[in-house]
Amino acid sequence: MAQEDVLKNFYDYTPDETGFEKALEERKKNNTDREVLVSVLEKQYATLDKSEKVKANIKALLDQNTFTICTAHQPNLLTGYLYFTYKILHAIKLADDMSLKYPHHKFVPVYYMGSEDNDLDELGVFYHEGRAYRWEGNGQTGAVGRMYAENVEQILNDFFQNWGPLTKDREELKKTLLQCYKTTHTIAEATTQFVNHLFGKFGLLVLNPDEAALKRQFKTVMAQDIFSGKSDELSKATSAALSEHYKAQAYSRPINLFYLKDQLRERIERNNDGFSVMNTTLFFTEKELSEEMDKHPENFSPNVILRGLYQETILPNVAFIGGGAEVAYWLQLKKIFEHYHVFYPQILLRQSVQLVDNSTSKLMHDLSLSETDIFQEKEKLQTLFLNRTENKTLNLTEEKLAFEKSISAARNRLKAIDPTLEKSAEAILKRVDSAMKRLEEKMMRSLKRKNHIQMQRFEKLHERVYPNRHLQERQLNICSFYPQYGTELLEHIRFNIRPLDVEFMILYLDQ
């Protein structure tokens, strides 16, 4: 996050070591119900294989000198995109670094699962080798985390047929995936198990906040949001001020809670007589809704405006790591945190990473491309290469200038004879210019055919850098690299991440 004067009113702590230290000192003044948090984690981990670090970190959360470093994401199928992995490893690395820097404290990395999201179109897909593998929920609706993994195994088996190379790491992960995504497991349970398998050795804790015991701690905030509308008022005021410099990423409503039950997740709206649940016949008077919240807090789900507030209520958190859009909408929330007297953490932008394997590195070398070059448009790179290879300019600019000069001289002579002939000269010039452009295009196509092997190599390189025309981290899945590199890949990324440095990182895998 840029430390610009225009933003200083929208966050509390600078994204550096000084900011972290200030956040830590302030966080110590805020209490968290650690016993409830540990009880929930022990319940959610009861049937999982836990590393010694995970066991130690759960226990450590009972200590007042233990704090969390948190990142959040929805339970995407097979973790979805690579940046899911980068966010988690960023949190792990920052927790490791700060535990060394502050030896009298312990910092625990936490993946806070957005299990109550209902965007199955986004959460139910992952990509491999340019192909989308999509799960449509088998008719289920509502919060994706509560859905059961019905027919996911069928998608996995389809994926396995195209997944390689065939290695020990691949077979081990294949077995794990089939164990995780059993029909009897919810998506939240499957995601917890899979993320624990990948990152448990680093001590990462996975927290599914969809628990009555946790939401009970948030009941006062939920009631105020529903019955007073204060969150909406504060959010809109902050968003208006922020919009003078940046576009708002999150939009508030008069009520920022969903009603969540069975396969239902719908907005709550106030009307003249009480409160309705959208797209249903459910209706509550104010008294009935208050009683429902008392008895069943798990039936209420915060939207994007309140989600961070809920997260910071139930975790002893110091720093939150998010992507660009997440950081932007957190800037809209500071006044809400202040109103409800909830600690507002240090906000950090996650590290972006481009993985470069040996074959991609060789392509870069053979094509004489630098790390900066590979992110340019493919056509521009091809043109630069042809310019260099053909040792000539790949356009007819000089010829067009010479022709324009001749036409200009002719136009002046014609104008002197008959002013109406000037328009004819202009029309001819436009036709010639258009013809010249067509000739340039034909010349470029001809040169590309002549150098077709090298052009194919540019195509191949571009697809690796921008698979399906997206940044690698926003398209590929960790499983695409796992068979070849195994768990060492995760360690390699974790080791190289610089958690307080937001520069884009290019990471070579075979060096």
Calpha distance 320→12 (Å, rounded): 13
Question: What's the pLDDT at 421?
Answer: 75
Whether residue 248 has pLDDT greater than 80: no
Question: What's the pLDDT at 416?
Answer: 79
Rounded mean pLDDT of the chain? 90
Calpha distance 213→314 (Å, rounded): 10
The owner of tokens 């053909």 is 390
Q: Give Cβ neighbours of residue 421 (< 8 Å, ≥ 6 apart).
A: 414, 415
Q: What is the mean pLDDT of residues 300-310?
A: 96
DSSP string covering 27-78, please? HTTS---HHHHHHHHHHHTTTS---HHHHHHHHHTTSTTEEEEEEEE---GG
Whether residue 43 has pLDDT greater than 90: yes
**Is the Cβ–Cβ distance between 293 and 219 less than 8 Å?**
yes
Question: What's the pLDDT at 446?
Answer: 75
Task: State the pLDDT confidence band at 238, using cuts at 50, 70 and 90.
Answer: confident
Question: What's the pLDDT at 2?
Answer: 46
For residue range 95-112, what is the model confidence (pLDDT) as tens digits?
999 999 999 999 999 999
Q: What is the mean pLDDT of residues 390-400?
A: 62
Question: What's the pLDDT at 119?
Answer: 95
Buried b (16+ CB within 10 A) or exposed e, 160-192: eeebeeeeebbeebbeebeebbeeebbbbbbbb
Question: What's the pLDDT at 368?
Answer: 84
Burial class (CB in 10 A: 0-12, 13-18, 19+), 54: buried
367: three-class secondary structure by DSSP:
coil
Query: And the tokens for 383?
Result: 């043109």
Question: What's the pLDDT at 400?
Answer: 67
Question: What's the pLDDT at 391?
Answer: 57
Omega within 30 of 0 (cis) for the link into 297: no
Whether residue 229 has pLDDT greater than 90: no
Whether residue 477 has pLDDT greater than 90: yes
Question: What's the pLDDT at 107?
Answer: 98
Query: And the tokens for 48?
Result: 């999982």
Calpha distance 114→191 (Å, rounded): 11
Question: What's the pLDDT at 396?
Answer: 59
Task: State the pLDDT confidence band at 3, using cuts at 50, 70 and 90.
Answer: very low
Whether residue 144 has pLDDT greater than 90: yes
Task: State the pLDDT confidence band at 343, using cuts at 50, 70 and 90.
Answer: very high
Question: Contacts from 364-372 at CB under 8 Å and sequence distance 24+?
Answer: 364/461, 366/457, 367/454, 367/457, 367/458, 367/461, 369/461, 371/506
Q: Which amino acid is at 309?
A: L
Whether residue 155 has pLDDT greater than 50: yes
Question: What's the pLDDT at 157?
Answer: 96
Report the first-to-last Cα separation within the chain, whole angstroms. Answer: 31
pTM over 0.85: yes
**Is the Cβ–Cβ distance between 506 and 369 less than 8 Å?**
no
Task: State the pLDDT confidence band at 1, using cuts at 50, 70 and 90.
Answer: very low
| Cβ atoms < 10 Å from Cβ of 227 | 14
| Cβ atoms < 10 Å from Cβ of 249 | 17
Helix (H) or strand (E) holding 311: helix 304-314
Task: State the pLDDT confidence band at 25, using cuts at 50, 70 and 90.
Answer: very high
Calpha distance 407→148 (Å, rounded): 74
For residue range 317-336, what is the model confidence (pLDDT) as tens digits?
999 999 999 998 898 899 99
Of 142 and 413, the one with more pLDDT: 142
Give how far Cα 153 sits from Cα of 48, 77, 120, 133, 249, Å.
Answer: 20, 12, 17, 12, 35
**Is the Cβ–Cβ distance between 128 and 78 less than 8 Å?**
no
Domain range list for the chain: 1-352+471-511, 358-464
Helix (H) or strand (E) holding 287: helix 286-295
Q: Identify which of 242-246, 355-359, 367-371, 431-435 has the greatest average pLDDT.
A: 355-359
Order of strands, sheet of 300-302, starting from the edge strand that comes earlier in the sequence: 283-284, 275-277, 264-270, 257-261, 300-302
Residue 209 phi, psi (nearest 5) = -75, 0
Of 376 and 171, the one with more pLDDT: 171
Question: What's the pLDDT at 176?
Answer: 97
**Is the Cβ–Cβ distance between 350 and 323 less than 8 Å?**
yes
Q: Nearest Cα to 255, choosing from 294, 293, 209?
A: 293
The owner of tokens 């917890």 is 192
Calpha distance 53→41 (Å, rounded): 14
Whether residue 494 has pLDDT greater than 90: yes
107 strand-pairing partners: 67
Q: What is the CA radius of gyration of the chain?
A: 29
Query: And the tokens for 274?
Result: 């009480």
